[in-house]
Structure 1
Amino acid sequence: MIELAVLDIAGTTVQEHGAVYIALEEAVRAAGGHPTPADIRRWMGADKREAITALLTGETGGPPEGGTVDAVFADFRDRLDAAYADRPPAPLPGVPEALAALRAAGVKVALTTGFDRGVTDALLARIGWGDGFLDAVVCVDDVAAGRPAPYMIFRAMEATGVRDVSRVLTAGDTVRDLEAGSNAGAGIVVGVLTGGLDAAALGAARHTHLLPGVADIPGLLSLA
């Protein structure tokens, strides 16, 4: 019996039209970097500060030309805020109903994300997922390292009182999401095809299931 579902946010439960990766690429380019599409894909699901650091200093071996990592991260956040204002994010189809079905069946629901707390709180407020809608929200700045480390999953377990990782389901739309679930030893590790990766790319990472989206999770657990 699954007791806890740990789900990614952007591209998994929330449709934000890839804005996070567009903003990331634009901020890195503005600071003097030259990321390829493959470079951006490699950092999908990661801590955004870690991604910026790697995309810039990994190319040059030194600090970014456009300023400190903090300055580039601030630029990234400004670009993301503007993108969200122009095209507001929204829950992916069927996701609110799926989360309600999980919680009605006694499964706790936690969200995890490579965003920091400030970005996350603003995003969830935009879509109306406030207090009481979820059992826990864990951000990358709550833990020592982001994905593929399993720490956000463990923090979600701690926050919800779940002790047996075999009773945890994780789901995400990136390779790092699946790697984190596998590294945690989750009982069910689901890849969902609502993000930027197709079944071949996402399925290359270890997983237990590939689904069209989070809306299909209650059916997987025979709750629908």
Structure 2
Amino acid sequence: MIQLAVLDMAGTTVADDGLVEEAFTHAIGAQGIEPDSARYGEMLRHVRATMGESKITVFRHLLGSDEAAAQQANQAFETAYGALVDEGRCSPIEGAEETIRELQSNGVKVCLTTGFSETTQQRILGALGWKNLADLTLCPAQAGRGRPYPDMVLTAVLALKADAVYAVAVAGDTAYDMTTGVRAGAWIIAGVLTGAHGNDQLAAAGATHVLESVRDLPGLLNH
């Protein structure tokens, strides 16, 4: 029996609507890299390929050994994303809140995870009125490492007292979410088609199931 569902936020329970790429463009522009440059195009391809990964890790890869530049870009990204949230550009995936409540009513605890900072995560939760919705919320800094490492899932297992890792379902919209689930030993690793990656990428990364939406997760767990 599944006791814990670890659900990604942007693209899985929260609509992205291009906000990540918009905030990235702002952040990388602050580093003097313009959208019409070849380097920008290469960077954007990496951002798309690594959706779900901790954002500071992404900027460290993009900006090489310049830790100060990576930190500066990450802060600019978080600031830009937070401003977009404050502008009302943040909305739930249709049926996501009801899904979380249904899981909880069925005795499944829910943890919401993100690759953003805790500050940005809390900003999103506040904008949606979700601050008290999930049993737990986690970002990479609170767990140790972000995706594709298993730290956030394993932290949730310990914090919410699941009996075992195979009593866990992980759901997300990126290959990195799937890899996290595999590495954590989750029994169900569900990819959803409401975000960054498609069926082939999710399946190749280890999805046990691919769903149209997180709304389908309770039905899967009940079978």
Question: What is the TM-score normalised by the length of structure 1?
Answer: 0.90
Q: Give the SS at the match of 2:110.
A: strand
| Residues in 1 aligned to 2:129 and 2:32: alpha-carbon distance in whole angstroms | 37
Per-residue Cα deviation, 1:4-29 (whole angstroms, up to 9, x for no partner): 00000011001131312331243124
Structure 1 pair 101–152 and aligned structure 2 pair: CA distance change class (3 A) = same
| Residues in 2 aligned to 1:145 and 1:222: alpha-carbon distance in whole angstroms | 31
Range that drifts further, 153-162 or 21-30: 21-30
Cα shift at 1:128: 0.2
| Residues in 2 aligned to 1:101 and 1:87: alpha-carbon distance in whole angstroms | 26
Cα shift at 1:163: 2.9
Gaps of 5+ in 2: 34-38
- In the TM superposition, 1:63-212 aligns within 5 A as 63=66, 68-131=69-132, 133-212=133-212
| Residues in 2 aligned to 1:116 and 1:78: alpha-carbon distance in whole angstroms | 11
Runs of 4+ in structure 1 deviating by more than 3 angstroms, as ranges, are none
Partner AA of 1:63 in structure 2: D
Range that drifts further, 81-90 or 120-129: 81-90
Of residues 28, 34, 54 in structure 1, which corresponds to 2:61?
54
| Residues in 2 aligned to 1:87 and 1:202: alpha-carbon distance in whole angstroms | 30
Partner AA of 1:11 in structure 2: G
Cα shift at 1:77: 1.6
Range that drifts further, 166-175 or 12-21: 12-21
Cα shift at 1:87: 4.2
**8 Å Cα contact 2:2/2:169 also seen in 1:** yes
What is the match of residue 46 of structure 2?
Answer: 39
Cα shift at 1:171: 0.4
What is the match of residue 36 of structure 2?
Answer: none
**8 Å Cα contact 2:26/2:76 also seen in 1:** no
What is the match of residue 216 of structure 1?
Answer: 216
**8 Å Cα contact 1:182/1:189 also seen in 2:** yes
Number of aligned residues: 216
Partner AA of 1:93 in structure 2: E
Cα shift at 1:160: 0.6
**8 Å Cα contact 1:110/1:138 also seen in 2:** yes
Per-residue Cα deviation, 1:138-177 (whole angstroms, up to 9, x for no partner): 1111122111100000011111111301110000001100
Q: Give the SS at the match of 1:68.
A: helix
Per-residue Cα deviation, 1:89-113 (whole angstroms, up to 9, x for no partner): 1111111111111100101011111
**8 Å Cα contact 2:115/2:139 also seen in 1:** yes
